[in-house]
């Protein structure tokens, strides 16, 4: 048993390569790591977003909005060389387009989150689909392990420590615990939670 990847539409890798080239052309200093020879692109995983309204209404995974396919780009040593960017490709098969490129801390934290997920006892005993979920309004990003069915067996691994819940990064929690965590952030901030750069 293991983490699995959903089948992505064809053409995404070409868009990722174009995005990397465009980033280097626009700002070679910021994206210097993308200039390494031998970059590799990992199979993508779906990326979902959550809105503040969904959390306030007590809905989490059922309200997650599919945003596209997230490709992790690794340095010259392959996955051992470290992730240097994440590129999201949006659209439908036959109409794919570039959505975003991120070279911030959430890229390396995603790799650490995936490694933590692979080491889970639950993953050793069943197949889980690898996904990424974020709630920008709450500065929240996580690895989402889809267990199939109605979400009863899904696991969420936040990529950052969650001090309000006394929860360390990469600790697996269920959907209801994740929802309570986000609702606690709303309560703590008085409903005004601003996003941060990632």
Name the token pair of 111: 């790799």
The reply to whether 198 falls in a domain is: no
**pLDDT (average), residues 78-91:** 81
Tell me if 196 is assigned to some domain. Answer: no
Q: How far is residue 48 from each of residues 126, 164, 171, 188, measured CA to CA in Å?
A: 22, 23, 19, 24
Residue 194 lies in a domain: no
pLDDT of residue 97: 96
Q: How confident is the model at residue 1 (pLDDT cuts 50, 70, 90)?
A: low
pTM of this prediction?
Answer: 0.88
Total number of domains in the chain: 1
Asked if residue 90 is part of any domain, the answer here is yes
**Residue-level pLDDT at 197:** 38
Q: Is the pLDDT of residue 192 over 50?
A: no
- Cα 157 from Cα 105, distance rounded (Å): 16
The whole-number pLDDT of residue 173 equals 92
In angstroms, the CA 89 to CA 104 distance is 17
Residue at 182 is within a domain? yes
SS (H, E, C) the chain: CCEECCCCCCCHHHHHHHHHHHHHHHCCCCCHHHHCCCCEECCCEEEEECCHHHHHCCCCHHHCEEEEEEEEEECCCHHHHCEEEEEEEEEECCEEEEEEEECCHHHHHHHHHHHHHHCCHHHHHCCEEEEEEEEHHHCEEEEEEECCCCCCCCEEEECCCEHHHCECCCCCECHHHHHHHHHHHHHHHCCCCCCCCC
145 bridge partner residues? 130, 155
Residue 138 lies in a domain: yes
Does a structural domain hold residue 77?
A: yes
Q: Does any domain span residue 158?
A: yes
* pLDDT tens-digit readout, 129-188: 999 999 888 889 999 999 865 556 899 999 988 876 778 899 999 999 999 888 888 776
Condensed to tens digits (0 to 9), the pLDDT of residues 87-128 reads 999 998 889 999 999 998 899 999 999 999 999 998 988 899
CB 16 within 8 A of CB 73: yes
Full residue range of the structural domain in which residue 51 is found? 3-189
- What tokens does 7 get? 């089948």
Q: How far is the C-alpha of 70 from the C-alpha of 57, rounded, in Å?
A: 27
């Amino acid at each position: 048993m293991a983490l699995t990847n959903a089948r992505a539409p064809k053409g995404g890798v070409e868009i990722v390569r174009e995005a990397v080239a465009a980033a280097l052309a626009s700002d070679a200093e910021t994206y210097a790591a993308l200039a390494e020879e031998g970059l590799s692109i990992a199979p993508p995983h779906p990326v979902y977003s959550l809105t503040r309204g969904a959390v306030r209404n007590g809905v989490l995974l059922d309200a997650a909005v599919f945003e596209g396919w997230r490709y992790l780009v690794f340095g010259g040593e392959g996955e051992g060389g470290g992730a240097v960017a994440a590129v999201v490709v949006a659209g439908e098969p036959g109409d794919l387009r570039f959505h975003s490129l991120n070279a911030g801390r959430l890229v390396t934290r995603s790799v650490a989150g995936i490694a933590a997920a692979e080491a889970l006892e639950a993953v050793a005993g069943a197949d889980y689909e690898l996904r990424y979920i974020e709630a920008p309004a709450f500065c929240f990003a996580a690895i989402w392990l889809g267990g199939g069915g109605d979400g009863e067996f899904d696991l969420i691994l936040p990529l950052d420590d969650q001090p309000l819940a006394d929860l360390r990064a990469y600790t697996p929690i269920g959907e209801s615990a994740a929802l309570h965590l986000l609702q606690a952030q709303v309560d703590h901030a008085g409903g005004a939670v601003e996003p941060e750069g990632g």
